[in-house]
Structure 1
Amino acid sequence: MKIDLQQRYEFSDDFFSLDGSVVMKLSADAATEVCERASQHGLVIARIEGGIWHFPGFEARLDCIWDGVELPVDARAAEKNNLAAAEFICSEKQVHDVFIVTAFQMVI
């Protein structure tokens, strides 16, 4: 199964199983969970891009971008960064209902 670019994914497991970084559109709840679980998968969140879902389609919003820490980082800094990304999504989900998460493998 490959990523359907015209779908909003509702489950964080899809992000991890399909390698959804950069392209997968996630609901606010799924994106939050991705950020909270990313460290367990050896990932650090580099960017969050929020927008509005128009079935089908993603309207990116320039007022909803969050950039993470500069890489490389250690596991502790990555965890702190990833939780900050989750908090950003929670602060934006009243206005923006879909998010793209960009994540990279931690290099230790």
Structure 2
Amino acid sequence: MKIDLQRRYDSSDDFFAFGGTVVMKLSADAAIAVCERATQHGLVIARIEGGISCSPGFEARLDCIWDGVDPPVVVSVAEQNNLVAAKFIRSESQAHDVFVMTAPRMTSW
């Protein structure tokens, strides 16, 4: 299956199954779940860009960007970073309903 660039995905499973980093638009709940599961998949959340669903597509917002750590990182650093990423999404989810995440491998870009 190919990622639908116009769709907002509601499942973190889709992110991991289809390699959604950088391109997949996620609901707040799905994005939080990605943050919570990323370390188990060997990923660290390096950037989150939030925005608003609009028809068609996604309106990115400059007031909703979060930068995390850059790889390479050890598991404990990735876990802490990813928890902070989830906290950021929770804090922005009232104003923003779509999130795009950059999640490279913990070992390198």
* TM-score, scaled to structure 1: 0.97
Asked whether the 8 Å contact 2:71–2:105 carries over to 1, the reply is: no
Q: What one-letter code is carried by the residue in structure 2 that aligns with 1:60? A: A
Question: What whole-Å deviation, never above 9, does each CA across 1:7-60 have from its counterpart, x for those lacking one?
Answer: 000000000000000000000000000000000000000000000001321000
Residue 107 of structure 1, CA deviation:
1.2
Supply the AA of the counterpart residue of 1:48: I
Give the match for residue 104 of structure 1: 104
Higher strand share: 1
Equivalents in 2 of 1:7, 1:73: separation in Å?
Answer: 32
Q: Which runs of 5+ in 2 are unaligned?
A: none
How many residue pairs were aligned? 108
The residue type equivalent to 2:93 in the other structure is: K
CA displacement at 1:72 relative to structure 2: 1.3
1:3 is aligned to 3
CA contact under 8 A between 2:52 and 2:59: conserved in structure 1?
yes
Stretch moving more, 70-79 or 20-29: 70-79
Residue in 2 that maps onto 1:46: 46
Provide the rounded CA distance (Å) in 1 between the counterparts of 2:64 and 2:48: 8
Partner of 1:24: 24
Aligned-residue identity in percent: 71
- Residues 27-106 of structure 1: pairs in structure 2 closer than 5 A: 27-106=27-106
What code does the residue aligned with 1:17 have?
A
